[in-house]
Amino acid sequence: MLSDSALLAWDAVWRNAGFALSAAESADTLFVVLGVLLWVGLPVAGVWFGVKAMRLRRLVRELPTCKAKGVFVGQVEMKGDAVSEAPLASFLAEAPCVWYEYSVEEHWRRVRVETYTDSKGNVRTRTRVDTGWETVASDKAWQSFFLQDDTGAVLVHPAGAEVEPVQVFSRQCSMGDPLYYGKGPSGSVSGSTHERRFTERAIPEGQRLYLLGTARERKDCAAAEVAKAGFAEDVFLISCRSEDEIARSSGWKSWLYPVGGGCALLLGTILLADGVPPGALKALLVQLAAYFMLVWLCAAGWTMYAGMVRMRNRVQAAWAMIEVQLQRRHSLVPDLVRVVEGYAAYERQLQEDVALLRAGQAGAAAFRMRAEAFPELKADAVFAELSGRLVDAEDRVALAREYFNTLAGHFNAAVSRFPDVLFARVCGMKAAALWRPDDAGAVARPPQV
């Protein structure tokens, strides 16, 4: 609770804020409006963006990297190269890419005359020269592409993603340069100095990417794709930066944003504290800082708790995915074997029939010089396809087990790490058991061939 002196200071600050919002005519009132922005807007934004950065850092650090062949439905982290059969050509650099955006800015210089009232009440005029840059053209384009690693490729739809591209073009030129009108508009802004700045960022074809998004089943074939999820809280990030760079920057932001919001709250309170005694103002500042810290700790605690719950759910889903892959192997392999056995039996019978016909015609002179047309046999290709399917099924099971063990290892590290261990104990979360073979001795023995 606020003390009596802090309550008086709070009442004065609140009345000043109301005055600032109801009138905005003089410079003093505009100064107070700035205080209201610092007092309300920036602290809320600091908490919001701090929580967002904290959640991104936890996802990047705790979500294991998934291979293209082992992509499962749900939130995934992937690393690979951007590949496209028909890449786009960026507008400025004309480089092959899968995503690009560009902007053309024009420099201007404007002179304006304004009137003002000085301290003695006299009306005077003065001339001001303003300069700046104005965007005169901009656009972006993208296409679906494949993210390829050493195991395969996954289709990615970048619409709605937060993209962190690389800069592929940057140039400033005057009107005499062919680029000025070649890639820029024909008109000019008011007060133009005839200087333009061209900038373009893109995801080049073949660029190494870090992807954090939601995987789903494709509608056209039995494969996975990554696209914007229907849930607002799901993160969809496509970045040209590395995983470590993203984690480090998110970690700094998770602290800088709330610290900046708290400082803005205190500064805005000082700006709005017109006529408040210094002692009362000091008491109010101390208690507002304490309340802001409490709000931040609650928001951070909820983020940690929600992250722990999501990790536990992902571990359970990964274990279920092992069972799905085992069931797929159990259902697929016998059918494949029966198909191959049937085809092999057909070709064996065909060979026997051809051999019998050849033996029956061996004594006929009319057939001794005839060129025989042997039937085309394809059992070797069928056996090769069976082998490929078996290897693929075993690889999927192995990737599912590896993904589960990695995810469970991250979860086990979290439930034993401060401060996550506090939420784990309160919510009854225990370390997950890693997958191990039922017969370790049989696995250790070399195979008999």
User: Looking at residues 214-223, what average pLDDT do you find?
Assistant: 76
| All structural domains of the chain with their residue ranges | 308-357+377-444
Q: Which amino acid is at 403?
A: Y
Which pair of structure tokens corresponds to residue 81? 């190269």
Q: How far is CA 86 from the centre of its chain?
A: 24
pLDDT the model gives residue 443: 45
Distance CA 140, CA 160 (A): 13
Banded pLDDT at 21 (limits 50, 70, 90)? very low
Question: H/E/C letters for each residue in 205-260?
Answer: CCCEEEEEEEEEECCCCCCEEEECCCCCCCCCEEECCCHHHHHHHHHHHHHHHHHH
Question: Looking at the predicted structure, is the pLDDT value of residue 112 above 70?
Answer: yes
Q: Which of 38-47, 371-380, 404-413 has the highest mean pLDDT?
A: 38-47
pLDDT at 25: 43
> Tens of pLDDT along 227-281?
887 665 678 999 999 989 999 999 899 889 988 888 887 777 776 666 666 766 6
Cα 123 to chain center, whole Å? 57
Give the sign of the dihedral formed by CA 22, CA 37, CA 108, CA 129: positive
Alpha carbons within 13 angstroms on the beta-carbon side of residue 313 total 8
**What was the pLDDT predicted at 217?**
77
Residue 18 has pLDDT above 60, yes or no: no
Q: What is the pLDDT of residues 316-370, one digit of tens each?
A: 776 766 666 666 666 656 656 666 566 566 566 556 666 666 666 555 444 444 5
- Residue 170 pLDDT grade (very low, low, confident, very high; cuts 50, 70, 90): very high
Please give the pLDDT value at position 23: 43
Tell me which range, 299-308, 351-360, 370-379, is most confidently predicted by mean pLDDT.
Answer: 299-308
CA–CA gap between residue 303 and residue 440 (Å, rounded): 40
Lowest model confidence (mean pLDDT) among 28-37, 88-97, 133-142, 196-205: 28-37
pLDDT at residue 108 tops 90 = yes
> For 35-58, what is the mean pLDDT?
80
Point out the least confidently predicted range of 61-70, 193-202, 306-315, 322-331. Answer: 322-331
Quote the pLDDT of residue 155. Answer: 92
Question: Looking at 151-165, 237-251, 284-298, which range is the least confident one?
Answer: 284-298
Quote the CA–CA distance of 70 and 219 in Å, as a whole number: 18
With a cut of 50, say whether residue 213 has pLDDT above it.
yes
Q: Is residue 282 predicted with pLDDT exceeding 80?
A: no
User: 3-class SS at 268?
Assistant: helix
From the centroid of its chain, how far is CA 30?
Answer: 40
386, 340 contact by CB (below 8 A): yes
pTM for the complete prediction? 0.69
Mean pLDDT rounded to a whole number for the chain: 75
pLDDT attached to residue 408: 72
* pLDDT for position 449: 39
Q: Do residues 433 and 316 lie in contact, with contact meaning Cβ atoms separated by under 8 Å?
A: no
99 Cβ neighbours under 8 A, 6+ residues apart: 88, 140, 141, 142, 143, 158, 163, 165, 202, 203, 238
Say what angle helices 278-360 and 4-22 make with each other, to 10 degrees: 70
For residue 2, pLDDT beyond 50: no
